[in-house]
Amino acid sequence: MVELIKMTTPAQRRRALKEAGFNTFLLKSEDVYIDLLTDSGTNAMSDQQWSGMMLGDEAYAGSKNFYHLEKVIQEVYGYKYLVPTHQGRGAENILSQIMIKKGDIVPGNMYFTTTRLHQELAGGTFVDVIIDDAHDSTSEHPFKGDIDLGKVESLIKKHGPKKIPYICVATTVNMAGGQPISLKNLKELRKLTKKHGIKIMLDMTRIAENAYFIQQREKGYEKKSVREIVREICDQTDGATMSGKKDACVNIGGFLALNDWDSFEEARNMVVVYEGLHTYGGMAGRDMEALAIGLLESVHDDHMRARVGQVAYLGNQMMEYGIPIVQPIGGHGIFVDAKRFLPHLTQDQFPAQTLAAEIYLDAGIRTMERGIVSAGRKPNGENYYPKLELVRFTLPRRVYTQAHMDVIAESAARVLDRRDKIKGMKMVYEPKYLRFFQARFEVL
Ligand code: PM9
């Protein structure tokens, strides 16, 4: 779809930002010029997907679109059983509830906001086992999503394998800057966990981008297609959660996929409590059709080259202006290091939240905080202090042109020029869960 976008004046943006409590999530979309808040549900669907929307079988039970989606998931990812959900976090809730017991440990390659919250609500404790390089925005490690196997081994030694229901492995690790995990690392993890009877559950949101990076960077995969690599990743795991709103370019949808019948039976029963019947799980028939087609399109090599290439174009522009960004350039957006951008602010003054607000003020570009606000609080109430304090410039797929990228980089450069004058913020309202969505701030 093509939509009209509105330009605003600095005075209008100042007013809108104040009304939004200096939180870009609380801005009205009509006050935004270029929307880089997220690549979730904001992508442009293809002609095939739109045609699929016309083929929605909206029967309450047994919709033919469900069976199409199931077939695509079995063919592309190789998982046996499908539990559809309204989006990724619906799948995370069900997975966490059926697999995690109170007191369990859930290791993962860096936290993700909704994923960790569901693990905690189920009584588990998330432990970060990603390699140290992932927490350093300047490290050029090609696979910053890799897991430190030594950290996993010590957890197994300390708690015993029975306390670890599964390792949660993310592809294109979001909070690390859209960084991939290598197949070498995943295969080594598989060997280690198999020895101890521990499962691997994939968060395969953005798996296609991860597969593209493997094709470009990992020895032995140069000649394999994105689709073949995607399958090889899934083959190392026992199941997966997915938000369909990213790779598959749909506005809504997600799923849990499993290989084990017993877990599937439990999940299929839970889905009717929280999402909808097990053959629609919160999606309309037309949504499932668009998702099935979008999943197939997401693993095309040319599509991935264009998608990741556009992100790289923006990243390179920003680097030319001297803007400090996470290295190497990630898969779904550019992550600006707010600690290096605003070195005069302490982390308690919310540098990334502040920078996202300033970026909006300059030209109406909406970005997202990915630092101390997103990290939230531990179950005991203490703040998490993440090493990375980032502002994410996320690129929706097939939406903006290269000219938009130039506008974005120029705007960020203007803010860099006046960074010494930028003051930090204080939080004046903090909701209990996932505070970054609804928190409010005031300028210090
Ligand atoms: N990611 C994003 O903008 C949506 C809003 S922020 C919570 O990056 C991963 C890696 C995600 C993700 C959502 C979900 C949850 C799980 N894993 O938003 O519930 O990036 O479909 O998926 C967002 P849903």
Block means of pLDDT (10 residues each) for the chain, 444 residues, are: 85 98 97 97 97 98 98 98 98 98 98 97 98 98 98 98 98 98 98 98 98 98 98 98 98 98 98 98 98 98 98 98 98 98 98 98 98 95 96 97 97 98 98 97 97
Instruction: State the amino acid at position 67 in one-letter form.
Output: Y
Q: Which of 113, 175, 205, 438 to mutate to test the pocket of ligand 1 (most atoms within 8 A of CB)?
A: 205
- The full 3-state SS of 6-45, as one line of letters, equals CCCCHHHHHHHHHHCCCCHHHCCHHHCCEECCCCCCCCCC
Are residue 414 and residue 341 in the same domain, yes or no?
yes
In DSSP terms, 241 is beta-bridged to 203, 256
**41 occurs within a structural domain:** no
Q: How far is CA 256 from CA 58, 96, 202, 224, 231, in A?
A: 21, 11, 10, 26, 16
Quote the number of domains for the chain. Answer: 2
Domain boundary among the residues 267, 298, 329 is at: 298
112 is catalytic: yes
Domain boundary among the residues 298, 332, 353 is at: 298
Q: Kindly state if the Cβ of 89 falls inside 6 Å of ligand 1.
A: yes
25 is catalytic: no
Q: Kindly state if the Cβ of 174 falls inside 6 Å of ligand 1.
A: yes
Q: Kindly state if the Cβ of 237 falls inside 6 Å of ligand 1.
A: no
Residue 222, classified by CB atoms within 10 Å of its CB into exposed (0-12), middle (13-18) or buried (19+), is exposed
Q: Kindly state if the Cβ of 392 falls inside 6 Å of ligand 1.
A: no
Are residue 262 and residue 400 in the same domain, yes or no?
no
**37 occurs within a structural domain:** no
358: CATH? 3.90.1150.10
At 222 the pLDDT is 98
Q: Which domain holds residue 286?
A: 47-298
Are residue 288 and residue 306 in the same domain, yes or no?
no
At 6 the pLDDT is 85
Atom of ligand 1 lying closest to residue 394 CA: 3
Are residue 228 and residue 330 in the same domain, yes or no?
no
Catalytic residue, from 39, 148, 203, 238: name it: 203
Element containing residue 426 per DSSP (H, E): strand 425-429
**Residue 124, CA atoms < 13 Å, CB-side half-sphere:** 30
At 4 the pLDDT is 83
- State percent of the chain over pLDDT 90: 98
Question: Phi/psi of residue 268, each to 5°?
Answer: -65, -30
Q: Are 251 and 85 in contact (CB under 8 A)?
A: no
At 339 the pLDDT is 98
**280 occurs within a structural domain:** yes
At 161 the pLDDT is 98
**150 occurs within a structural domain:** yes
3-state secondary structure of 195: helix
Are residue 96 and residue 194 in the same domain, yes or no?
yes
Q: How far is CA 90 from CA 95, 174, 411, in A?
A: 9, 18, 36
Are residue 93 and residue 57 in the same domain, yes or no?
yes
> Rounded to whole angstroms, how far apart are CA atoms 429 and 440?
5
Task: State the distance from the centre of ligand 1 to the C-alpha of 28, rounded, in angstroms.
Answer: 20
236: CATH? 3.40.640.10
Instruction: State the amino acid at position 65 in one-letter form.
Output: N
At 118 the pLDDT is 98
Are residue 321 and residue 293 in the same domain, yes or no?
no
Are residue 212 and residue 331 in the same domain, yes or no?
no
**42 occurs within a structural domain:** no
**333 occurs within a structural domain:** yes
Are residue 242 and residue 321 in the same domain, yes or no?
no
Instruction: Tell me the pLDDT tens digit for each residue of 212-253.
Output: 999 999 999 999 999 999 999 999 999 999 999 999 999 999
Are residue 372 and residue 289 in the same domain, yes or no?
no
| Residue given tokens 């202090």 in the structure block | 385
60 is catalytic: yes
**201 occurs within a structural domain:** yes
Are residue 96 and residue 112 in the same domain, yes or no?
yes
Residue 296, classified by CB atoms within 10 Å of its CB into exposed (0-12), middle (13-18) or buried (19+), is middle
Greatest alpha-carbon pair distance for the chain in Å reads 62
Catalytic residue, from 113, 115, 279, 367: name it: 113
Task: State the distance from the centre of ligand 1 to the C-alpha of 21, rounded, in angstroms.
Answer: 22
Please state, as a whole number, how many other Cβ atoms lie within 10 Å of the Cβ of residue 158: 10
**313 occurs within a structural domain:** yes
Instruction: Tell me the pLDDT tens digit for each residue of 318-373.
Output: 999 999 999 999 999 999 999 999 999 999 999 999 999 999 999 999 999 999 99
Domain boundary among the residues 274, 298, 322 is at: 298
At 379 the pLDDT is 86
Are residue 434 and residue 312 in the same domain, yes or no?
yes
